[in-house]
Structure 1
Amino acid sequence: MATINKFFKHTFLGITGIVSSLLFISKYKNKPKRLQIPPFFSKPAPYFFAHIGGNHHVPGNTKLAFHHANKHKVDGFDIILRITKDHHFIVFNDIDLDASTNGSGKVSEHTLAELQTLDAGYHYVDINGNKPFVGHPDAKLQTLEELLQAFPDKRFIIHIKDNENDPEGLPVPELLLDIIKKYQAEYRVLVTSEHVKQLERFKVISEGHIALGASQGEILEAFVKYRFGASNLFEARSHAFQMPIEIQGIKITSPKFIYWLIERNIVPGFIHINNLDLIDDLIVLGVHTIITDRPDLVDRYKQSNY
């Protein structure tokens, strides 16, 4: 969330100026064409995704987390990929291992075999201040391939985290597409990234057959143009927005903005939704995708509404 807010802070004023200068021509431009909705969204809404498998009750990114979330009937997982020294994909948030494992250094400096020996429950502290998962046999990091095999009926939102300007990040789009094809998962993955060039490269090589999530820049561009009355100047490049509840203190959960996205066949989703009442409110507004750190809330919602 801090990364998102920092990005918005540094770019908001620049885009606002551009939009303001173009306002006078907005009303003369035809509305952009609707995007074609990809098969990823073929099931009835709402979709519920466990962010990194959920980290409220168990350490995230671990076998423990994904199997715990699966018990709560989530539709899929929101995961972040890091590439290893020997070009495998590990599901992990940070560039470094130190904060959430007993390892140290960059993920990209270690082989897959080395990473799979780490204790990913080492630093996890529960709500009582205890460390119940230190040394747990399932507090292990997972690979993308392991998850695709273990959960063949689940959908995945996949974040490319490695930068194309770094040597380890350069081959990521091609390697990712190879794995998706290997497991015939084209229709159950959505690929996104904060690195626009990585996302563009993946879009080109996948020939538009795989659902794409918007970068932070695209989300900001859309919101600013909507807010300043230049809606017709926005041309969507991605199928779905995974958004924070607010941008620079401005809530973006207004019914009008959500409807504006839906009109363009842009699938609206919100991240880090960890309150049952808020889940209810967003779904009533037409939000399609809920990404939560608490998969237990999914069970509670479904018991009350299905």
Structure 2
Amino acid sequence: MGRKTKVALTVGAAGVAAWAASKAVVKPKPRTFKKALAFEDPVVLAKCSGMKDVPDMTMTAFKKCAELGVNGFSVDIRLTKDEEIVLFHDEYLDQTTDFSGRICNYTLAELQQADAGYMLTDKDGHTPYRGTGERIVTLQELLLAYPQLLFVINLMDSPDTYEGSLMPSKLWRLLEESEAEDRVVVTSDFDEQTDRFNLYAQNKVATGAGKDEVKKAFGAYSSKFGHLYTPRADLFIIPEKIGLFRMNTESFMSFLSNLNVAVYYENVNDKETIEKLLNAGAAGFITNHAEAMLAVMQQINY
């Protein structure tokens, strides 16, 4: 046996020993139960944007989705100039309203003068909601309007911005005042934002995983050291694939489920895929096509 072979075997044996030792000593630590995610059946959350027949994230859109029977909403939030929390996806107003510029450059009173139905065009080129009173909605308004529904709240402002630095504390204060702690999940692409929020919430509110946390979890799952992974979030909102990596396997969902982490999928529309994910253990879906999603769920008896 050559020297290189002996070294390789020694290193391999040491690795196995380290794995066995860590598995004997370290036990996975599941997330604490969160009431917001306590659903017996898979849920459907509506984004209420890109619906084509109603303006994005307006009360008209939320009302239509609620009437369909969704379990709740997934909403994007931003901070205004006077530090109010509004529902809006884009940083700039030009795409959906008759205003221009950034959300953070306007007060709430100014923003609510904007026509939120201004840009919606139907198949015939008409603008049926222009001038009909559609306006930008605050998070507080929606929480009050639908106290029975679940909200996934996505912090859009980067933590490096002034607005982003204030958002975690502002959001916590609003949730506390609205007594909504048990019916929301707070998430962000920036894990730093969720961590900042949790400094105020102290694990009283369910949180979602950002991009880095998802990568970390998948890396742990794919390795021999998954037992060392401690989740920092209660919910993963993920697509079926990220790059070359499949996020839709039963084993990955089981890995997260054993840690008391729920998995919701987004950007899924066809019946076959929805059924496959449900059978694999998906806890829910976030969709721009709530009516079609609910119809599929009914067809497959969920």
Q: Is TM (by shorter chain) over 0.5?
A: yes
Alignment partner of 2:176: what SS? helix
> With structure 2 as the length reference, what TM-score do the two structures score?
0.87
In the other structure, the counterpart of 1:47 is: 43
**CA separation of 1:262/1:226 partners in 2, compared to 1, >3 Å: closer, same or farther?**
same
| Conservation of the 8 A alpha-carbon contact between 1:54 and 1:295 | no
Distance 1:264 1:23 in 2: 25
* 1:28 paired to 2:21: yes
In the other structure, the counterpart of 1:10 is: none
**Structure 2: gaps spanning 5 or more residues:** 1-13
In the other structure, the counterpart of 2:109 is: 113
Distance 2:15 2:278 in 1: 32
How far is the alpha carbon of 1:171 from its aligned partner?
1.7
The superposition leaves residues 46-91 of structure 1 with CA deviations (integer Å, 9 ceiling, x where unpaired) of 1110014562542321112111100110000000100000111110
The superposition leaves residues 17-71 of structure 1 with CA deviations (integer Å, 9 ceiling, x where unpaired) of xxxxx97644432342111220112231211100145625423211121111001
How far is the alpha carbon of 1:131 from its aligned partner?
4.1
In the other structure, the counterpart of 1:265 is: 260
**CA separation of 1:298/1:218 partners in 2, compared to 1, >3 Å: closer, same or farther?**
same
Give 2:171's match in structure 1, choosing from 172, 176, 190.
Answer: 176
In the other structure, the counterpart of 1:231 is: 226
Alignment partner of 1:28: what SS? helix
Query: Which letter does structure 1 place at the counterpart of 2:44?
Result: F
**CA separation of 1:23/1:255 partners in 2, compared to 1, >3 Å: closer, same or farther?**
farther
Give 1:219's match in structure 2, choosing from 214, 219, 226.
Answer: 214
Compare 83-92 and 43-52 and name the one that shifted more. 43-52
> With structure 1 as the length reference, what TM-score do the two structures score?
0.86
In the other structure, the counterpart of 2:270 is: 275
Distance 2:190 2:118 in 1: 30
The superposition leaves residues 96-137 of structure 1 with CA deviations (integer Å, 9 ceiling, x where unpaired) of 1112222111100001111112222222344x3634444153
Larger radius of gyration: 2
Distance 1:273 1:209 in 2: 30
Distance 1:207 1:64 in 2: 35
In the other structure, the counterpart of 1:69 is: 65
Distance 1:58 1:278 in 2: 27
Alignment partner of 1:205: what SS? helix
Distance 1:158 1:293 in 2: 15
| Aligned Cα root-mean-square deviation (Å) | 2.1
| Conservation of the 8 A alpha-carbon contact between 1:46 and 1:287 | yes
In the other structure, the counterpart of 2:154 is: 159
How far is the alpha carbon of 1:138 from its aligned partner?
5.2
Distance 1:207 1:168 in 2: 22
In the other structure, the counterpart of 2:8 is: none
Query: Which letter does structure 1 place at the counterpart of 2:192?
Result: K
Distance 2:46 2:199 in 1: 28
Give 1:58's match in structure 2, choosing from 54, 61, 65.
Answer: 54
| Conservation of the 8 A alpha-carbon contact between 1:81 and 1:161 | yes
* 1:81 paired to 2:77: yes
| Conservation of the 8 A alpha-carbon contact between 1:276 and 1:297 | no
| Conservation of the 8 A alpha-carbon contact between 2:118 and 2:131 | no
**Structure 1: gaps spanning 5 or more residues:** 1-21
In the other structure, the counterpart of 1:255 is: 250
| Conservation of the 8 A alpha-carbon contact between 2:150 and 2:183 | yes
1:118-197 equivalences under 5 Å are 118-126=114-122, 128=123, 130-135=125-130, 137=132, 139-197=134-192
Alignment partner of 1:168: what SS? helix
Query: Which letter does structure 1 place at the counterpart of 2:271?
Result: L
The superposition leaves residues 165-223 of structure 1 with CA deviations (integer Å, 9 ceiling, x where unpaired) of 22222221111111111111110011011222221111121111100111111001111
| Conservation of the 8 A alpha-carbon contact between 2:86 and 2:138 | yes
| Conservation of the 8 A alpha-carbon contact between 1:48 and 1:74 | yes
Distance 1:220 1:203 in 2: 20
Task: State the percentage of identical aligned residues.
Answer: 30
Query: Which letter does structure 2 place at the counterpart of 1:269?
Result: Y
The superposition leaves residues 129-153 of structure 1 with CA deviations (integer Å, 9 ceiling, x where unpaired) of 6344441535322110110111111
How far is the alpha carbon of 1:276 from its aligned partner?
3.4
**CA separation of 1:54/1:47 partners in 2, compared to 1, >3 Å: closer, same or farther?**
farther
Query: Which letter does structure 1 place at the counterpart of 2:216?
Result: E
